[in-house]
Structure 1
């Protein structure tokens, strides 16, 4: 697996997560008394400077290819610092940090500090991302788009639905068109239907519920305006060197995001966003 340092967080009740300092990347989430909830590709290379496929990548300061930076920005390929790791009475918490460097300033000329806090307890996982503009008072404001690119493990895509999106407008990144989601999103597993790449705008704090047979995972967001739902489908998956051919049938990405309207921070200002997952 990863050659970079790993952080193992275990709550008193047995709930656990594993985080790689490469990318500040959450690799695994096992709620108390429950199996693995995240999908991690067995073909992930875990090499320095290369993104890990699966888990929860941190997209920052650019989402996808919507800008001039490398796809999804540089945070997911950078080496983060472990600030603290603690087990409390009911939970376990790790805090990671990423600051600007000569390498980041060469492609994104801003002073910043990112802090990623991961808390696990029982059947709940909280991921909080904070960004502070650490530049001088007369520095230019910084703008960024971001997402917590969560790969949820599924057993049968035919049995999966996503509730909470009805009535929202979305941008279809495959068709390059905008549309309205009229009802809950049902995944049928049919070829062509599953090449799914949508940015839903204005989700804000509306909870999203991913249901697969009797299993339900609730996604709650704070500080994030949008949500992304993605599955590459069989044809696109076959083109991904770090995914097995059938990997698309075992995952669904549901992501807290800020894409439609970038976050803008003046020097000294900060932003915080949180994504909470609860297995019911």
Structure 2
């Protein structure tokens, strides 16, 4: 194993992971935000808005934002919580004989305790090898009182063509439609984009999903997360975003491993961990 030094990307401190087989990834210390993943022999798999700001304390549009300890506006905190806007500490970054791995950590501080009065330690581990990306999010209750939280890996997948893209493996799943604000059940196996806003929380997802996009096949699976959020802002809402081009919605689909509808509850000293795995076929 050889250590990897901190470099810079988009003007911010970053870890540049490179596996011996050529797989690459870029992980910012700001928000523990993964902004690039290029599998061995492949192309960029993540969407990153070219108009997103890269500034301390600001959220980044694209890549994989870490959502913690609140999802969206489901609670009293800022949208999607504070973890994606805070600096994380580097625990380790190494390149091995067949992979590369980085671990970042976030702990409570005075600012976080003002809005969320709990002692915690969160870690994210990012591992690349071949055509596979593994992201594990973990949290430990370091205090003396229980707490609950929501979490998600808000993965923006790059699309070559939203008109031909589909997500397979959702048939039979119940979901909460955040646009219509009501519950549904998915009857079709394929979910296609039509330019309208899509915002769904699929429940009790146990099987892997497959993103099909022209000739590309990207397998999406998870362990420990019970929900999958599928989101695309659509034409109207996408055009209103200041941090994304008007046609940006055509180039991305969020498929997020999440724990939203049943938040995690941790007693003092308890830990939780969950993972999302992306594999280019």
Q: TM-score, normalised by structure 1?
A: 0.96
- Counterpart of 2:241 in structure 1 is 240
- Counterpart of 1:200 in structure 2 is 202
- Counterpart of 1:10 in structure 2 is 18
- Counterpart of 2:118 in structure 1 is 110
Map 1:82-231 → 2, pairs under 5 A: 82-135=90-143, 139-189=144-194, 191=195, 194-203=196-205, 205-231=206-232
- Note if contact 1:96-1:115 (Cα within 8 Å) is conserved in structure 2: yes
Aligned residue for 2:163, secondary structure, equals helix
Partner Cα distance (2:245, 2:191) in 1: 24
- Note if contact 1:55-1:150 (Cα within 8 Å) is conserved in structure 2: yes
Partner Cα distance (1:240, 1:59) in 2: 19
- Note if contact 2:160-2:214 (Cα within 8 Å) is conserved in structure 1: no
- Counterpart of 1:70 in structure 2 is 78
In structure 2, the gaps of 5 or more residues are 1-8
- Counterpart of 2:256 in structure 1 is 255
Following superposition, the deviation at residue 237 of structure 1 comes to 0.7
Partner deviation per Cα, 1:109-163 (whole Å, 9 max, x = no partner): 000000100000100000000000011xxx2211001100000000111111111
Partner Cα distance (2:57, 2:190) in 1: 35
Aligned residue for 2:184, secondary structure, equals strand
- Note if contact 1:2-1:47 (Cα within 8 Å) is conserved in structure 2: no
- Note if contact 1:161-1:184 (Cα within 8 Å) is conserved in structure 2: no
Aligned residue for 1:5, secondary structure, equals strand
Partner Cα distance (2:181, 2:267) in 1: 32
RMSD: 0.9
Instruction: Report the count of equivalent residues.
Output: 273
Extract structure 1 runs of 4+ deviating beyond 2 A: 1-4
Following superposition, the deviation at residue 187 of structure 1 comes to 1.7
Partner Cα distance (2:242, 2:252) in 1: 16
Following superposition, the deviation at residue 73 of structure 1 comes to 0.3
Q: TM-score, normalised by structure 2?
A: 0.95
In structure 1, the gaps of 5 or more residues are none
Partner Cα distance (1:36, 1:228) in 2: 22
